[in-house]
Homo-oligomer: A and B are copies of this chain.
Amino acid sequence: MSSKPSIPKGTRDFSTEEMQRREYIFDTVRQVFRLYGYQPIETPAMENLSSLLGKYGDEGDKLLFRILNSGDYLSGVNDEELTGRDSSRMSSKICEKGLRYDLTVPFARYVVQHRDEIVFPFKRYQIQPVWRADRPQKGRYREFFQCDVDVIGSDSLLNEYELVKIIDEVFSRLRISVVIKINNRKILSGIAEYLGESSRITDITVAIDKLDKIGTDAVNEELRAKGLSDDSVKKLQPLLALEGSTPEKLSQLERILSESATGLKGIEEMRILFSYISNAGLKGKVELDLTLARGLNYYTGAIIEVKSVDVAIGSICGGGRYDNLTGVFGMDGVSGVGVSFGADRIYDVLNHLGLFKEMVMSSSEVLVINFGSAETAYSLSVVEELRKLSVNTELYPDAAKLKKQMSYADSKKIPWIIIAGDDEIKSNSLTIKNMSLGTQEKVSLGDLRTYAENNFRKSK
């Protein structure tokens, strides 16, 4: 065969080293989630398309990976439909299942399906891959990993507060400096109401979002182009000019939005949340950001987004409160709030900051050199003893040249080598070599245990 085999574009293999780095991220988020009382669930890679379609907008529907029905999948399609070549209509006939696109919709489906077994408030986390048929590009994959943490069945703002704490704790443990930006969908609704442009809430937020980049005049121009009246644009100006601390901004907002019950409710929520936060001694920076508008179609309260301070990359974590999530599956009146950590971008940030370099890669701790069949029994007894002491140990499987075996240990960064050849067997001893220091010493077999306990790292 002339060419190497390959994998689908946008997907990745993970080497041993990459696995360890990813596990470090997963372990960190998992530990913090558990510390805050969240428990794991998992859902299948495939969902019925009926559960997925229509949940992510038209664009999302196009990005779903669909799975061809098994067997004679064409039996339900007539000739006219076949030659009609309406691919999207036909795919609904030949595919019933799709790969999950995120962890939120499967979670909503899970909650509704298992509502009778679940104890509410239900605090769950979920760490699994998701798939999107997006155009692959640097940092964007077709298979990537999300780490979601949500609580469903409680309206309390203490949940929002604890999610902010979780975010702060995770990134502090990972040593990534972050800004946690918070907004509230009710405030955005209030602003649109105040401007008399409730239907244009998305246009307004998208335009405001560009304030830093393009300046006030350009934002106003964009809004006029979107159809906002001169009057509305004029009314918007004090909102673009808010200044001061978060409580000060909220007070200014309160005066401006005094006629909007929804807006005032949002302001009140932010006031409570920021009062918790102000006493929390967070390590990262938290700020009110009125331009934050992610997932407008489904958030109903707080909106949260996290950016790395030192690395220019999209948001590395985000989420918010959604009052109607399970409604699409027939269960109303259950409010939830959650955030999702983007493992792949976090990986890139850690890599960029050089923080992986300091990680001790856990390979085997000891390699026992293989001298051939005459020495095998002796070597196996050494290996056995070390493993009983929980020391990750390898016996090189072949009686290869010493140089080759040493180079294997070197490539795999195995820190200790044990030589148990003819001489050692005769004197009932071992030669133990430290690969990084280049030192070696002779240890009697009876002292191996003590030597191991004083020198070798134990497996966890």
Contact = CB atoms under 8 A, between A and B. Distances in A.
B91 A68 contact: yes
Contact of A16 (B39, B62, B158, B394): B39
A245 interface: no
A6 B97 CA distance: 12
B13 A398 contact: no
Interface in A342-374: 362-364, 367, 370
Given A16-B40, A68-B67, A398-B155, A35 B459 contact: yes
A253 interface: no
Dominant SS at the A interface? mixed
Interface in A44-95: 44-48, 50-51, 62-63, 65-68, 70-74, 79, 82-83, 85, 87, 90-91, 94-95
Contact of A46 (B48, B91, B143, B395): B143
Given A35-B387, A74-B87, A398-B121, A15 B329 contact: no
Given A14-B42, A65-B67, A123 B394 contact: yes
**Assembly stoichiometry (copies):** 2
B35 A392 contact: yes
A85 B76 CA distance: 11
A231 interface: no
A156 interface: yes
A213 to B, nearest CB: 32
A253 B16 CA distance: 43
A5 interface: yes
A7 B43 contact: yes
Nearest to A16: B39
Contacts of A397: 121, 151, 154, 156, 158-159, 162
Given A39-B16, A67-B65, A74-B90, A45 B5 contact: no
A131 interface: yes
B44 A143 contact: yes
A340 interface: no
A41 B67 contact: no
A246 interface: no
B45 A73 contact: no
A4 interface: yes
B13 A459 contact: no
A440 interface: no
Given A16-B40, A37-B394, A113-B4, A85 B74 contact: yes
A48 B82 CA distance: 26
Contacts of A114: 13, 15
A152 to B, nearest CB: 11
Nearest to A279: B377
A252 interface: no
A226 interface: no
A454 interface: no
Nearest to A88: B72
Nearest to A412: B119
A261 interface: no
A19 interface: yes
Contacts of A50: 5
A393 interface: yes
A112 B387 CA distance: 31
A7 B47 contact: yes
Given A5-B48, A7-B46, A72-B87, 14 more contacts: A8-B48, A8-B97, A11-B46, A16-B40, A16-B41, A19-B39, A31-B460, A35-B392, A36-B387, A71-B87, A119-B411, A158-B376, A162-B397, A276-B376
21 contacts: A1-B329, A1-B330, A2-B330, A4-B113, A4-B329, A5-B330, A7-B48, A11-B44, A13-B43, A14-B43, A15-B41, A20-B40, A35-B459, A37-B367, A46-B142, A46-B143, A65-B67, A65-B68, A67-B99, A162-B395, A162-B397
Closest 9 CB pairs of A and B: A1-B330, A37-B394, A11-B44, A156-B397, A16-B39, A37-B364, A70-B133, A154-B397, A14-B42
